Structure 1
Amino acid sequence: MIPCLPDLIDHAQGAFVDGRLMIDNVFVAQELIKGYSRKRASPRCMIKVDLRKAYDTISWDFLATMLTHLGFPGRFIHWIMECVTTPSYSISINGVLHGHFEGKRGLRQGDPMSPLLFVFCLEYFSRLLNIRTKNPMFKHHPLCGSLNISHVAYADDLMLFSRGDTTSIQILTQALEDFGNISGLRVNYDKSNIFLGGNAYYDLDTILELVDFKIGTFPVKYLGVPLAPLKLSVAQYAPLLESITTFINAWSIKSLSYAGRVELIKSVIQGVHSFWLHMFPIPNVILDRITSICRIFLWGSKFARVAWADICLPKEEGGLGIHDTKVWNKALLSKTFWDIHTKKDTLWVKWVHGVYLKGRCVWEFVPHERDSQLFKKIAQIRDEILSKFQDIPSAILGLSAFQMNGKLVSSKVYDLLRPRAATRVWMPFIWKDYIPPKFSFVTWLAFRNRLATCDNLHRL
């Protein structure tokens, strides 16, 4: 089924489709939200939808009908429905299974096929919206008309967009209700919110009489990250810092060697918070705090024996190969720039070319003050990449060499942008597979003259 998804699933759905990423949905949502802080802006509306027990409530008849209309062979559909409809269930009470009954609807949790089937079901809603929004009475959300954007979805995470007038909002909510009646997927109004921007607030009372949604406030959490009309404050990055601190505090410093701590720090910088670094130009004050957390974890209560800038150098240049967070943030965002250059077939890239570039070259485009923080940061990264080459053609050729399977490799861009130092001839003799890492670390300190010897301690 996976090879069929790009041809069958609407561009608004970003889950499980090859070539589409979660960050594309976040980028589009963030671009639309940034106008909600202007009171004199045109009326606009966003609805964040939570579906109640999504996997458990899908109608089997609806699923079979949807697969049929998508063109799957009858025999294949029969196999799928046998997998979906034949399981039986028991209830565990105090560790003992009781009862034996069959299900009537829903998809099995943990089944690798279930997410794909769920996306097929949501495709009905995408097509329903595409039809309903052709109604002359429906007005698109500002900046969405040319691309016909009425929603973005990542599995069951839905965002709906329209102009902030009662008729357009009613068309969206009626489509939601009709979809629920057909599919069994109902809106959880307790966890769903409506957001109004511009002068839509003048009709607030009228709109709230028509819908069952509560008024939401910014920042709103979408796909695990906060989104807001204005630049995120330092306090709003607290979830990122908390996740890093929690991850690191789960380990006892005393139980880990220095080499073990280095590997854990690499997993933090290249894993835990890379999700955020893919999506946001993180403020330097936050990146400095992340560096401080990692530095304290490495050295503990002792003084830092080696400067962090030296630690972030590759091993062949005398460092430990830990990524500098500021450069890593740029390297990850450079993938977004490259997608724009190659005109990748995603909703976000279409948005950039339709709203910002409008036929102009991304290598020469100068962003305006009103453009988003993300797009201005991407332009800065582009200029920094250009500074490493003679001209635009050589920059394009250079980045093309950094691709693997058609995708830009962030680690190679990082190596392009990072500070450089002279190669240390002694480094290859330290880091060997047959040498225990903790011994290599001590030897590394010795070659840098940073061991806690009497003469070094005397200088402090």
Structure 2
Amino acid sequence: MLAQEITHYIKKPQEGDNVVIKLDMAKAYDRVSWAFTCIAMRTMGFGEVFIDLVWRIMSNNWYSVIVNGSRHGFFHSTRGLKQGDPLSPVLFILGVEVLSRMLNLLHQDQNYKGFHMQIGGPQINHLCFADDVIIFTAATRSSLQLIMKTLSTYEVVSDQSINKENSHFMVPTNTPMETIDMSIPIHTMASISPPKTTLNYIKRVTTDFFWGWDKEKKKYHWASWETLSYPYEEGGIGVRKLEDICKALQIKQWWNFRTKNSLWSQFLRAKYCQRSNPIAKKWDTGQSLVWKYMMKNKTIIEPHITWRVHFGNRLFWWDDWLGEGQFAQHDDTINNLNNIIVSYFLQNGHWNETLLRQEAPLHLIPKILNYKIHYQPGMLDEAVWKPTGSGDFSCATAWQICRQKKDSNNINSYIWHKHVPFKISFLVWRALRYKLPTNEKITTFGSSPVNCSCCRRPGKDDINHIFVNGDFAKYIWEWFLAPCGVYHKQTYIKDILYSWWGMENKNDVHKLILQAAPIIVCWNLWKNRCAAKYWIKQSSITRVKFLITKDIYLLINTAYSYIQWPTTWHEMIKIIELCKQDIRIWQISWEKPPQNILKLNTDGSALNNPGKIGGGGILRDHKGELVYAFSIPFGNGSNNQAETLAPSHGIEWCLQHGYKKILLEVDSELLVKWL
């Protein structure tokens, strides 16, 4: 991502233009000089004992050659690092560090003109990752000659060789970078925001692959990719839209930019923000595509970022450290250059009320004074991602924030189970939405109507006839429903599925059968119908009953292999209903505190996360007698805030009333780790 941002400057005015050079090292690991590695380590300050150990590991390297399956010769190597050795990458990086420092020294040469960089930001002339090296410089004769001289010197002292045929350079062109390649792999979305044309191309290829091909012709797409791209419980098939994935990764870029002081974030601040705050900035023509999307999405992301104050190094006006949003939103007079930090209003870890009343919004001063700071000098303030319980960022929660949602429905969730193959569940998904190639459906494409091929008395070949109320389907459902105490009276596929899924389960095995059995029945009814229609096999009740029983047996035998299952349905369902859960009981009781010590038990709760929060607690003495109890609301926040504020209130009450020996007991493991 940093390389992209620097390359975005390639068209900026510069003496001799700008140029990017990508180096390819020939046999990088195999050519490493042992003597050079030891000299580099000695120069960097490594001890002689450690260098000697490394030398012995590197030099103890012997080879033999296998010819026609037999070993021949046994000779000693004179250079190179062993592939697969965990020490080898570290030693190789030490060698590349020499090249890195040599390139950095070029800035001290008056004849060297560097790549165009923002004044005040990092002046970068190269990036290295293992044996990949990218050099940024001006395309002047003197600069390029200095680069070539530096590379030649490095080749001589390190025994490395630069493959000049496979190395490349890039100079300004009139072609936009976004339109050069239309086949960007999905994994690159973490660093690149592909244009819509590329996303549409990937989506089109994925959709064609999903629905399949008939010879050289695409099969009919029975549902759009937008319809499929929802979680199971919302009526989709569990895939995600590429647009939502890209936006979630763009949210991650903003999170990293705001919370980490990396070289990439430093470069972006120098390039686009200067002294202004990034929250107040807007995208302008000519700026990079990555920055454009970051500016576009920041209003979505910022409400989900808060800061835990330790030392007070966050910006008072522009960072949401109180949980009420940025203060700059409450005061139109604040300009984007006001970079006062929180510690400016602190005095010995406590709020300076006089300063606050002079500068802070008046309606927020009471909340600021009530905000408890765990003052720790030298410890940087910590970013908290509100949607996760741990406060750590995750792309999954970012995806939940940016995606379009539908109402959840239990019937959508019941279709899918980890022990049921996708193709079987997907068939039921299509049947519930009348998206199967039945004869009735095909007539809408201009074909003549044809009756079903599965029943003795052929009927209309539609979804409900094939799966529910046809003679063949009725017999199959009655055969499998009767042992469960349910009788077949339904006329629609949704109703027959609900009759299974609505039954009360007696144990986990019974729950699995009630969910998966109707899906398996539908699958075999459809297979029987297709086999009869296309003259593969005649419709057979005996065969279908056998196949359904076999599939159910394989299902429960896979999930519960430690039980000996019968192979007939009626015997199987009897054993399933008799299964009992292994229940273990632990006695849990409240323990009294030692004498002269009070025990405080607290708990917090949230209606949603985040949402309305509150907490309660009870304080008791060594006899178990009540000293104090409370139950209070805390406004809006996360469940972790509720778990934290409840004991904070209880401890504060104890200290105010002179109780200093307190034993705190909470049920939040995360809070215990924090403390």
Task: Decide whether the 8 Å contact of 1:37 with 1:230 is kept in 2.
Answer: no
Q: Aligned pair 1:317/2:223, yes or no? A: no
1:377 to 275, 293, 317: 293
Q: Aligned pair 1:80/2:54, yes or no? A: yes
Q: Which has the higher contact order (CA 8 A, sep 6+)?
A: 1
User: What does 1:129-140 align with in structure 2 at a 5 Å threshold?
Assistant: 129-140=103-114
**Per-residue deviation, 1:324:** 0.2
**Per-residue deviation, 1:285:** 1.7
Bigger proportion of residues as helix? 1
Q: In the TM superposition, what whole-angstrom CA distance separates every residue of 1:18-55 from its partner, at most 9, and x where no partner exists?
A: xxxxxxxxx23323333445688763233222222211
Matched residue, 2:221: 304
One-letter identity of the residue aligned with 1:282:
P
Matched residue, 2:431: 446
One-letter identity of the residue aligned with 1:316:
E
Task: Decide whether the 8 Å contact of 2:32 with 2:159 is kept in 1.
Answer: yes
Task: Decide whether the 8 Å contact of 2:11 with 2:17 is kept in 1.
Answer: no
Q: In the TM superposition, what whole-angstrom CA distance separates every residue of 1:258-279 from its partner, at most 9, and x where no partner exists?
A: xxxxxxxxxxxxxxx3322122
**Per-residue deviation, 1:116:** 2.0
Matched residue, 2:147: 172
Q: CA RMSD in A?
A: 3.1
Instruction: Compare 378-387 and 117-126 and name the one that shifted more.
Output: 378-387
Q: Aligned pair 1:56/2:41, yes or no? A: no
**TM-score for both structures, normalised by structure 1:** 0.72
Q: In the TM superposition, what whole-angstrom CA distance separates every residue of 1:151-191 from its partner, at most 9, and x where no partner exists?
A: 11111111112233233323222222222222111222222
Task: Decide whether the 8 Å contact of 1:62 with 1:182 is kept in 2.
Answer: yes
Instruction: Compare 362-371 and 400-409 and name the one that shifted more.
Output: 400-409
Matched residue, 2:642: none
Separation in structure 2 between the aligned mates of residue 74 and residue 120 of structure 1, nearest angstrom = 16
Q: In the TM superposition, what whole-angstrom CA distance separates every residue of 1:292-337 from its partner, at most 9, and x where no partner exists?
A: 1111111114322222112110111011111101111111122111
- Secondary structure at the aligned position of 1:441 is classed as helix
**Per-residue deviation, 1:61:** 0.9
2:177 to 231, 235, 258: 231
Q: Aligned pair 1:128/2:102, yes or no? A: yes
Task: Decide whether the 8 Å contact of 1:151 with 1:161 is kept in 2.
Answer: yes
Q: Is the alpha carbon distance of 1:237 and 1:82 closer, same or farther for their aligned partners in structure 2, counting shifts above 3 Å?
A: farther
Q: Is the alpha carbon distance of 1:315 and 1:459 closer, same or farther for their aligned partners in structure 2, counting shifts above 3 Å?
A: same
Matched residue, 2:284: 368
1:413 to 382, 398, 408: 398
Matched residue, 1:262: none
Separation in structure 2 between the aligned mates of residue 181 and residue 405 of structure 1, nearest angstrom = 51
- Secondary structure at the aligned position of 1:345 is classed as coil
- Secondary structure at the aligned position of 1:232 is classed as helix
Task: Decide whether the 8 Å contact of 2:64 with 2:71 is kept in 1.
Answer: yes
Matched residue, 2:202: 290
Task: Decide whether the 8 Å contact of 1:33 with 1:229 is kept in 2.
Answer: no
User: What does 1:398-437 align with in structure 2 at a 5 Å threshold?
Assistant: 400-402=385-387, 408-437=393-422
Separation in structure 1 between the aligned mates of residue 118 and residue 389 of structure 2, nearest angstrom = 33
Matched residue, 2:190: 278
Instruction: Compare 331-340 and 65-74 and name the one that shifted more.
Output: 65-74
Separation in structure 1 between the aligned mates of residue 155 and residue 388 of structure 2, nearest angstrom = 43
Q: Is the alpha carbon distance of 1:416 and 1:169 closer, same or farther for their aligned partners in structure 2, counting shifts above 3 Å?
A: same
Task: Decide whether the 8 Å contact of 1:231 with 1:373 is kept in 2.
Answer: no
- Secondary structure at the aligned position of 1:56 is classed as coil
**Per-residue deviation, 1:366:** 0.6
- Sequence identity, in percent? 25
Task: Decide whether the 8 Å contact of 2:118 with 2:270 is kept in 1.
Answer: no
Separation in structure 2 between the aligned mates of residue 120 and residue 303 of structure 1, nearest angstrom = 57
Instruction: Compare 450-459 and 33-42 and name the one that shifted more.
Output: 33-42
Task: Decide whether the 8 Å contact of 2:63 with 2:77 is kept in 1.
Answer: yes
Q: Is the alpha carbon distance of 1:30 and 1:404 closer, same or farther for their aligned partners in structure 2, counting shifts above 3 Å?
A: farther
Matched residue, 1:31: 5
One-letter identity of the residue aligned with 1:371:
Q
Q: Is the alpha carbon distance of 1:406 and 1:62 closer, same or farther for their aligned partners in structure 2, counting shifts above 3 Å?
A: farther
- Equivalences, count: 370
Structure 2 unaligned blocks of 5 or more: 214-218, 306-317, 327-381, 446-675
Q: In the TM superposition, what whole-angstrom CA distance separates every residue of 1:56-110 from its partner, at most 9, and x where no partner exists?
A: 1111011122223334444433333322211211223344432211110111223
Matched residue, 2:249: 332
- Secondary structure at the aligned position of 1:340 is classed as helix
**TM-score for both structures, normalised by structure 2:** 0.50
**Per-residue deviation, 1:194:** 4.2
Matched residue, 1:91: 65
Q: Aligned pair 1:456/2:431, yes or no? A: no
Q: Is the alpha carbon distance of 1:407 and 1:351 closer, same or farther for their aligned partners in structure 2, counting shifts above 3 Å?
A: farther
**Per-residue deviation, 1:282:** 1.0
Separation in structure 2 between the aligned mates of residue 150 and residue 39 of structure 1, nearest angstrom = 17
**Per-residue deviation, 1:140:** 2.2
**Per-residue deviation, 1:339:** 1.1
Task: Decide whether the 8 Å contact of 1:287 with 1:326 is kept in 2.
Answer: yes
Task: Decide whether the 8 Å contact of 2:384 with 2:391 is kept in 1.
Answer: no
Greater C-alpha radius of gyration: 2
Instruction: Compare 285-294 and 396-405 and name the one that shifted more.
Output: 396-405
Q: Is the alpha carbon distance of 1:451 and 1:58 closer, same or farther for their aligned partners in structure 2, counting shifts above 3 Å?
A: same
Separation in structure 2 between the aligned mates of residue 403 and residue 172 of structure 1, nearest angstrom = 48
